[in-house]
Structure 1
Amino acid sequence: MSKKDTIQIIDIRMQRPIIARIEEENLNLTLQMSDKATLSGATVSFFTPNNVSIFLSSAKKELSKSNSIYKSLFGKIHKTKHKNFKISDKDLPRLYNYFESIQTAIISMYTAIESFANICIPHDYVYEKNNAKGIKESYSKELIERYIPTSEKIDKILPSILNCDSPKGSKLWQDFKSLESLRNDIIHPKTTKKNTETKEDSSFLCILLSDDFIKKVSCGFDLVSYFCKQDTTHSLFPMGFGEIELKPVPIKAGDFEKVDDHDEIELPS
């Protein structure tokens, strides 16, 4: 497949196409991963999405919604000399809508990063590290996914696999750690005790209202983009982060399985 060849993509959230090369026929076939679901006694087939892309898309939509609400609520604060405000009863629902959207964006963004880190790891990869007692431990892909923190994957494992520098120490890393901390606050809520009263710790909500917070959440896009650019041929990486290269996969004509889909029609809208 030449560099000038282009393939039409229906939706950027799809998995990357696969180029099957049949040498004996000097033929390239463009294939797309698909799945089938059974519902109401019928079978429905669809092109398989890239799950990292799904979460990134969700984060992008919720960030856009959050930004719009934030500006409508707080956009005029810097234009007034007064420094003490309260949210009116009329605007309270919009504030809560903001909290809904920004927290959904945080969870979606962090889940996208988690998913991306896991798909980067080859099935035969082994990660070695010393435990607290100085004893070397070995982790297979399955053990890495289950027991190694996402931040450690981003700092050590992905740079090792993709042969690139760790983002640790950069502004991008600082924003990622802030995102991670807030995600943990949302997923694992804490309580505080004052005198004899126990209540939910909501202090992190004030952080969500800081001036540059929405930009910090967006760091997930830059983080995924950084690693995607290290390997433009990775078949499981999401699309939309620069040019991609599709490496033809050698296959024999006899390897294709005949699928009976002659009676398959498009689902009515």
Structure 2
Amino acid sequence: MGHIKLKPTIQFEINFHPSELDDIIIPEESKEIARDYVKSKKLSENDIMIMMDNKVIYGYDYLYQNKKLILPEVNPVTIFYSNAIMSSGLLQNYKETLLSEASVCGKNGQMIDLNHSGAFFQLAINCIVNLQATLESFANVVIPHDYLFTDSLGNPIIPTISHKLNTSIPEIRSINFKTKFKRYCKHIDALIQLRNNIIHLKPVEQTTNTVYKNVYRQLLNFDYHKTIIVVSTFVNFYEPDLLSECGCGNDFSYDIIKK
């Protein structure tokens, strides 16, 4: 899969070039506010518009080495999903290395390299956490701040991510992902469960010295490729083309590099 196109939180198209703006139409009071802002070291809590050739996006300011910089606000849904994609790129390679170099039961002499486990599980966990964060950040954008979460009886509840995805978003958007893609829901459920197992990881209470083996087995068995497709299908079902591949044709992946 090609790398994901990052997108701003908010953008809108314009039918003129910024250079065409007439300085005369800008009120003098606004000019004074702008001059004071440029000179000040104080960061702004107001909207900052970044005008490009054919669109306007919103950004924020940041002080760096005594300079005030203007940065675009990137939609976090695209950041999280891009992270997941780049973390997954070499997963199969590292999994094959881990398993092919592992000791075979009943045979002696095979050297153990913990780095093989580290390389796979580090990227696998990154992928899982960022896929779930993609869904949760998207849900938090769609669901209004004043939305009342209730159970089937109308009683207020503290929602789970599953409740947000399966109940709240369909209610708000008046369409239901589960109705059209019911077969995909098991992958989202498995993703949320595995992410929770990782984030709230604790040793099992059984009498054993290998207290994390179940989670490691789950990470090895997880269907990363299918879940990546399901997550983008879910988001794009409610927000068409929010998650899309860049047309440049390049493919980027995180890797472990020795310096």
- TM-score range (shorter-chain normalised) is 0.5 to 0.7
Out of 155, 159, 171, the position equivalent to 1:137 is 155
Q: Which residue of 1 aligns with 2:166?
A: 155
Q: Which residue of 2 aligns with 1:41?
A: 66
8 A Cα contact 1:225 1:241, kept in partner: no
CA distance in 1 between partners of 2:101 and 2:211 (Å):
31
Q: Match of 1:12, as an amino acid?
A: K
1:88 to 1:57, Cα distance in 2 relative to 1, 3 A? farther
Give the alignment's Cα RMSD to 1 decimal: 3.6
Deviation at residue 213 of structure 1 after TM alignment = 2.2
Out of 214, 219, 231, the position equivalent to 2:224 is 214
- Deviation larger for 62-71 or 147-156: 62-71
CA distance in 2 between partners of 1:56 and 1:87 (Å):
42
**Unpaired stretches in structure 1, ≥5 consecutive residues:** 1-10, 23-27, 140-146, 233-237, 243-269
Q: Match of 1:177, as an amino acid?
A: D
**Unpaired stretches in structure 2, ≥5 consecutive residues:** 17-52, 247-259
Q: Match of 1:110, as an amino acid?
A: Q
1:69 paired with 2:62, answer no
Deviation at residue 149 of structure 1 after TM alignment = 0.8
What TM-score, normalized to structure 2? 0.65
8 A Cα contact 2:178 2:185, kept in partner: yes
8 A Cα contact 2:149 2:159, kept in partner: no
Give the number of the structure whose residues are more often helix, by fraction: 2
Alignment of 1:114-193 (within 5 A): 114-123=136-145, 125-130=147-152, 134=153, 136-137=154-155, 147-167=158-178, 170-193=182-205
* 1:64-96 superposed Cα distances (whole Å, 9 cap, x missing partner): 12122123444799xxxx987899536531222
CA distance in 1 between partners of 2:166 and 2:109 (Å):
41
Alignment of 1:234-253 (within 5 A): 238-240=242-244
Q: Which residue of 1 aligns with 2:11?
A: 17
8 A Cα contact 1:189 1:200, kept in partner: no
1:199 to 1:98, Cα distance in 2 relative to 1, 3 A? closer
Q: Match of 2:244, as an amino acid?
A: G
SS at match of 2:151: strand
Residues paired across the two proteins, number? 204
CA distance in 2 between partners of 1:96 and 1:57 (Å):
21
1:85 to 1:150, Cα distance in 2 relative to 1, 3 A? farther
SS at match of 2:155: strand
Q: Which residue of 2 aligns with 1:103?
A: 125
CA distance in 1 between partners of 2:173 and 2:91 (Å):
34
- Deviation larger for 186-195 or 166-175: 166-175
Deviation at residue 155 of structure 1 after TM alignment = 0.8
CA distance in 2 between partners of 1:58 and 1:85 (Å):
39
Q: Which residue of 1 aligns with 2:111?
A: 89
Give the number of the structure whose residues are more often strand, by fraction: 1
Q: Which residue of 2 aligns with 1:266?
A: none
Deviation at residue 228 of structure 1 after TM alignment = 2.0
Q: Match of 1:89, as an amino acid?
A: M
SS at match of 1:32: strand
8 A Cα contact 2:11 2:58, kept in partner: yes
1:37 to 1:224, Cα distance in 2 relative to 1, 3 A? same
Deviation at residue 12 of structure 1 after TM alignment = 2.4
1:124 to 1:188, Cα distance in 2 relative to 1, 3 A? closer
Q: Match of 1:36, as an amino acid?
A: D
1:84 to 1:56, Cα distance in 2 relative to 1, 3 A? farther
What TM-score, normalized to structure 1? 0.63
Q: Match of 1:161, as an amino acid?
A: I
